[in-house]
Chain A
Amino acid sequence: MTELTWAGSRVTDSGRRLPGDAGVWVFIFADTMAFGLFFLLFSRGRMGSPSLYRDSAQHLSVGLGVLNTLILLTSGALMALAVEAARRNERRLVQRFMAGAIGVGLCFAVTKVFEYSGKIKAGFTLLTNDFFMYYYVLTGVHFLHFVIGIVVLLILSAKARNDAIDAHFRVWIESGASYWHMVDLLWIMLFPLLYLQR
């Protein structure tokens, strides 16, 4: 049973449906599985030299990790509110929530640049050791997903200004929001993996 008035993609006999486009979900699934593999590789590496990973993790800032988590969660919540507003055809609210999601989301880039530059200045690079190699590769690949997400949100924001808020737009915004929440989901796991295994 569904609680909301759904519009957009296919609804199964039971009324159950994925938000947005099913193709986007296949991509999201493949991507989360790929990150699962990264977690496995990292954990295997860590089992080989736990003290090196433990000592290296001490150099990461838990405060910045928490801040980045809060930024992505807040941006994700604003995006969920934008989707909800799109279902009510409230264009102004869609635009406002999306502007909020993008604005808050961009803070992630600011803290990440601050964090990377601090690490590099302190002499921790991709070549320092295996831990920092994983740190830069995993957070770098995640950051690439973040950048794609911001571009998607900017395109959706332009569509919310120019296009009709109809069933077609709702498929777009639900798809984009699902991708954006995935960026958040992956960070939820990356944070303890990299910052908290001390």
Chain B
Amino acid sequence: MTARRHSDARSLVIRVWALLAGATLVVGWLAEGRHVEPRVALTVALAVAAFKARLVLLHYMELRHAPLGWRLAFEAWALAAAGGILAAYWAAA
């Protein structure tokens, strides 16, 4: 049982890595390739950044097992950082 839990934990780390790397490549492709309008690309990039930050916080920094206050504080930080950058970008657009 313990061995299985460990193998699950390892496969979770690898699956999260694949998701993070895939999301990064998609954002790079959108930004570099001029496939979409820059404003759309940036909006997608910041939504993806918030998503990636949350994955790192919950799974690599293991906040999914942390006291709720810590978890919520960091999740709020990720949301506020991405949301704040995006709001300022649109306000100046």
A contact set with B: CB distance below 8 Å: 2-6, 12, 14-19, 25, 29, 32-33, 35-36, 39-40, 43-44, 46-47, 50, 62-63, 65-66, 69-70, 73-74, 76-77, 79-81, 84, 87-88, 174, 177-178, 181-182, 184-185, 188-189, 191-193, 195-198
Residues of A within 8 A of B82 (CB): 189, 192
Does A192 lie within 8 Å of B60, measured CB to CB?
Answer: no
Does A63 lie within 8 Å of B42, measured CB to CB?
Answer: no
CA distance A15 to B10 in the complex (A): 21
Task: Given the known inter-chain contacts A17-B65, A77-B17, A181-B56, please indicate yes or no for A39 contacting B81, CB distance below 8 A.
Answer: yes
Chain B residue nearest to A65 (CB atoms) is B28
Interface SS of chain B: helix, strand, loop or mixed?
A: helix
Does A50 lie within 8 Å of B10, measured CB to CB?
Answer: no
Does A189 lie within 8 Å of B70, measured CB to CB?
Answer: no
Q: List 18 A-B contacts (CB under 8 A).
A: A19-B65, A35-B81, A39-B84, A43-B84, A44-B88, A65-B28, A70-B24, A77-B16, A77-B20, A80-B59, A84-B13, A87-B6, A185-B53, A185-B57, A185-B78, A189-B53, A191-B49, A192-B46
Residues of B within 8 A of A46 (CB): 88-89, 92
Task: Given the known inter-chain contacts A77-B16, A84-B9, A192-B49, please indicate yes or no for A36 contacting B77, CB distance below 8 A.
Answer: yes
B36 touches A (CB below 8 Å): no
Contact with A16, one of B21, B67, B89 (Cβ below 8 angstroms): B67
Task: Given the known inter-chain contacts A16-B66, A36-B77, please indicate yes or no for A73 contacting B41, CB distance below 8 A.
Answer: no
Contact with A84, one of B6, B27, B57, B74 (Cβ below 8 angstroms): B6
Does A73 lie within 8 Å of B28, measured CB to CB?
Answer: no
B contact set with A: CB distance below 8 Å: 2, 5-6, 8-10, 13-14, 16-17, 20-21, 24-25, 27-28, 31-32, 38, 41-42, 45-46, 49, 52-53, 56-57, 59-63, 65-68, 70, 73-74, 77-78, 80-82, 84-85, 88-89, 91-93
Residues of A within 8 A of B8 (CB): 3
Contact with B38, one of A65, A76, A178, A198 (Cβ below 8 angstroms): A198
